[in-house]
Amino acid sequence: MNIENLSTFGIPEIFVKRFSEDGVKKLYEPQVMALKKGLLDFKNQIISAPTASGKTLTAAIAAIKQLHERKSKVIYLVPLVALAGEKYQYFKKLFSGTKIKVALSTGDLDSSSRWLSDFDFLILTTEKCDSLIRHSSNWLSDAGLIIVDEIHMLNDTSRGPTLEITLTRLREIAPKAQIIGLSATIKNSRELSSWLGANLVVSNFRPVKLYEGVYLNSEIQFFGGRNYKLKDNLTAEINIFENTLSFNKQAIFFVSSRRNAEALAEKLSLFNKPKADKELESLSTQIESMLETPTRQCRRLSECIKGGVAFHHAGLLPKQKTLIEEYFKKGVLKSICATPTLAMGVNLPAWRIIVRDVKRYYSGYGSRYIPTLEVKQMFGRAGRPTYDQEGESILIAKNDLEAQELTEKYILGEPEEIYSKLALEPVLRMHVLALIASGLSTEDSLFNFFSKTFYAHQYGDTGSLESKIKGIITMLVDFAFVVRLNEKIIPTKIGKRVSELYLDPLSANQIIKALQKSKHKNKPFTHLHLISSTLEMKPLFPMYKKDEEDVLQKINENPFLTDIPAEWDIDFEEFLKSVKTAIILESWANETTEDKMLSSYKVMPGDLRTKLKNADWMLYAVNELGFLLGLKEELSDVRKLRVRMRYGVREELIPLVRLEQIGRVRARKLFNNNIKTIQDLREISIRRLSAILGDKIALSVKKQIGESLADDDKERQASLDFSGEIV
């Protein structure tokens, strides 16, 4: 079907033209199937198709129809922040110049975000949408279309339960809304569509032909013919990389760990040795200078990039990952060595995908093969429609037997069925409290809600789930988060606040008990350990042998607001990790550099940033709960600590770091020059300030504090504005 035919389905000409300008001339098979199965008749649909088969365009067509005819809101749910950003750019461009307003919201889980009510197309992470429901955002009922990207994430132990609860609640809030679930190919897609009362669209179509094969003994053999004989004197990875470069193409290598990703990137980079390239030099410089004091990881990545190769994992800073993705899309980088998380992220072009490591260590089970669905997700990254006519996905085998196993499991095998993970108690605790706080005031009403979930649809019998819910209600009563009044279950004021704060009730109860027994003027470390011992801060930083002395010293020197387990207790190891995590947080607040953190504690900048973000949220939660308990004196220290954590500074630098372009390093430099307050900045001459900070930043600081410059300083500023240098 030609793209122009969309006009006959009621899609305005402006959008048909935009699709055409983006290179879309014909609709793909799954898109045509979706149209025939009622996509534009506002019917629910599950679209199960491979990566790059046009699922986003299908969702866009449905959204246009909804917005044009019904004038109702569209909610687009995604599992990851990075994916949310990519979809925002796509839909912002699609709707530019029209009256349709697109919004992106992924953070601030303690807000109703009323500003979102003014927008038509809303891209939200699942957690943000769940939070909006908890804060009674009434405009959610205006949704006419709910698009769920990566709906097979219902199978994920960490994100699946929240997605399942959120989707079940949205169906009650907006019962007439059309639901479109976008999924990779899964075995039980019919079961998923049955739960949602949706028409099922299943297709194996890919616009780019995908060859799947195995590398063994210097040869790549693809299923169904086609093979390459490579060199005999090179390792598998370098052999495949060299062969990829000979076609002037790009490759992504998936490996099992960060260490492996970095080591492989270094090896490929040293092999490649490209000619001097200005764009690679520019990227290398940007990567290394991302922090005020570069870490050895930054320098290692910078060196790899000079060879046209980068590593990519969660230990990098978000800006570093974004730059790597951007330069890979531009074709400047020839290869990325990544952990499997990249397969769930943004849309990256790669002619070749190499899955080197197909085993992972599972606690209690040892090393096992990873799921077929996960490998198929990685394979799907090969060959993008706007870049290639074909793509290649390659597994690496060590011997004939393994080659046969890999072929049977990952090339010929089907992706696994997905299963509800709703019965996992930590998430169940949070959601039971949230449901009670939102008005489900009896056990029967709770059971009725859970009878509408995917779990109930899949397993039929919800008896074990109901038993767990009863136990959770008893726990919530013990915590004083709810009270029983005859048959009714009523949330208390503090219970409702716990739900709004998106806290696990166990964590909230732990914080409340600790605050009630705490004394004013506790050390910052005491509060940092309190939050480090909560479930929300997990996984904690691991303990190493060399950490033991510092950790034990901290235990001896500091008061704790939580109980200290006995050394033989099963919880003692986790307690040690919580102390180490608190030490790392305290080190950050005491101005320890990222490089020092990496060398001393093996903490990567990306992991540190993630933990700091969680710590900020938990300190906020401590403050909010403490406020309800009336502990005003205690909370002044908590609020001060939160500011220190945000900027990574000691208390004396707080007035200075609030200024733009004054980070922890420049603030310390000012302080060491006896400039300690805003008043000191007003009194110092711009000439002396320039000598400390540089001319541009000095002028910026003077502007920020509202100081009008003297005539000679204005002349100096004019010279700067003109040339960027002192003349």
Kindly report the CA angle at 98 between 90 and 345, in degrees rounded to 5? 10
Enumerate the domain spans of the chain: 3-202, 209-411, 425-500, 505-648, 656-723
- Per CATH, 3-202 and 656-723 having the same topology is answered no
pLDDT by residue (tens digit) across 542-582? 999 999 999 999 999 888 989 999 999 999 999 999 999 99
Tell whether the model's pLDDT for residue 714 goes beyond 70: no
**Whether 685 contacts 702, CB under 8 Å:** no
Tell whether the model's pLDDT for residue 488 goes beyond 70: yes
pLDDT of residue 234: 92
Taking the C-alpha atoms of residue 165 and residue 453, their distance in angstroms, rounded to an integer, is 7
Q: How far apart are the first and last CA of the chain?
A: 65
pLDDT of residue 709: 61
Architecture of domain 425-500: Orthogonal Bundle (1.10)
Q: What SS3 class is residue 394?
A: strand
- Helix (H), strand (E) at residue 108: none
Cβ within 8 Å of residue 647, ≥6 positions away: 653, 654, 657, 663, 664, 667
The predicted model gives 181-200 an average pLDDT of: 93
Q: Tokens representing 585?
A: 């947080």
Tell whether the model's pLDDT for residue 715 goes beyond 50: no
Taking the C-alpha atoms of residue 261 and residue 256, their distance in angstroms, rounded to an integer, is 8
Which residue has tokens 């990496």? 598
Which residue has tokens 């726990």? 475
Tell whether the model's pLDDT for residue 720 goes beyond 50: no
pLDDT of residue 708: 64
Q: How many helices (H) and strands (E) does the chain have?
A: 32, 19
Taking the C-alpha atoms of residue 394 and residue 116, their distance in angstroms, rounded to an integer, is 44
**Whether 379 contacts 210, CB under 8 Å:** yes
What mean pLDDT value characterizes the chain? 91
Length of the chain in terms of residues written: 727
**Whether 512 contacts 623, CB under 8 Å:** no
Tell whether the model's pLDDT for residue 721 goes beyond 60: no
Which range (47-51, 74-78, 262-266, 401-405) has the least confidence?
Answer: 47-51
Q: Tokens representing 469?
A: 């819910």
Compute CA distances 257 → 48, 253, 277, 344, 555, whole Å: 29, 12, 29, 16, 32
The predicted model gives 167-195 an average pLDDT of: 94
**Whether 311 contacts 337, CB under 8 Å:** yes
Compute CA distances 306 → 167, 270, 606, whole Å: 46, 9, 22
Compute CA distances 358 → 330, 372, 382, 394, whole Å: 29, 9, 17, 11
Q: What SS3 class is residue 311?
A: strand
pLDDT of residue 718: 41
Which range (126-135, 165-174, 183-192, 471-480) has the least confidence?
Answer: 183-192
pLDDT by residue (tens digit) across 597-645? 999 999 999 999 999 999 999 999 999 999 999 888 778 889 999 999 9
Q: Rounding to the nearest 10 degrees, give the CA dihedral for residues 220, 309, 347, 607.
A: 120
Q: How does strand 209-216 pair with strand 219-222?
A: antiparallel
Q: Environment class of residue 568 by beta-carbon count within 10 Å: exposed (0-12), middle (13-18) or buried (19+)?
A: exposed
Q: What SS3 class is residue 463?
A: helix
CATH number of 3-202: 3.40.50.300
pLDDT by residue (tens digit) across 439-483? 999 999 999 999 999 999 999 888 889 999 999 999 999 999 999
Taking the C-alpha atoms of residue 200 and residue 180, their distance in angstroms, rounded to an integer, is 10
> What confidence tier does 345 reach under pLDDT thresholds 50, 70, 90?
low
The 3-class secondary structure across 30-89, one letter per residue, is: HHHHHHHCCHHHCCCEEEECCCCCCHHHHHHHHHHHHHHHHCCEEEEEECCHHHHHHHHH
Compute CA distances 285 → 25, 192, 272, 319, whole Å: 40, 48, 19, 13
505-648: in CATH 1.10.3380.30 = yes
pLDDT of residue 462: 82
Cβ within 8 Å of residue 181, ≥6 positions away: 45, 46, 47, 148, 151, 192, 193, 196, 198
Tell whether the model's pLDDT for residue 363 goes beyond 80: no
Name the residue among 672, 615, 604, 611 with its Cα closest to residue 641: 615
Tell whether the model's pLDDT for residue 710 goes beyond 80: no
Cβ within 8 Å of residue 507, ≥6 positions away: 534, 535, 536
Q: Could you count the other beta carbons within 10 Å of the beta carbon of residue 166?
A: 23
Considering all CA atoms of the chain, what is the largest pairwise distance in Å, rounded to the nearest integer? 82
pLDDT of residue 697: 93
**Which DSSP state fits 2?**
B
**Whether 59 contacts 182, CB under 8 Å:** yes
Tell whether the model's pLDDT for residue 653 goes beyond 90: yes
The listed CATH number (1.10.10.60, 3.40.50.300, 3.90.400.10, 1.10.3720.10) that belongs to domain 209-411: 3.40.50.300
The predicted model gives 190-194 an average pLDDT of: 95
Which range (70-79, 258-267, 336-345) has the least confidence?
Answer: 336-345
Tell whether the model's pLDDT for residue 711 goes beyond 50: no
pLDDT of residue 712: 45
The predicted model gives 492-513 an average pLDDT of: 95
Taking the C-alpha atoms of residue 719 and residue 716, their distance in angstroms, rounded to an integer, is 5
Architecture of domain 656-723: Orthogonal Bundle (1.10)
Q: Tokens representing 180?
A: 């479109």
Tell whether the model's pLDDT for residue 727 goes beyond 50: no
Taking the C-alpha atoms of residue 222 and residue 616, their distance in angstroms, rounded to an integer, is 50
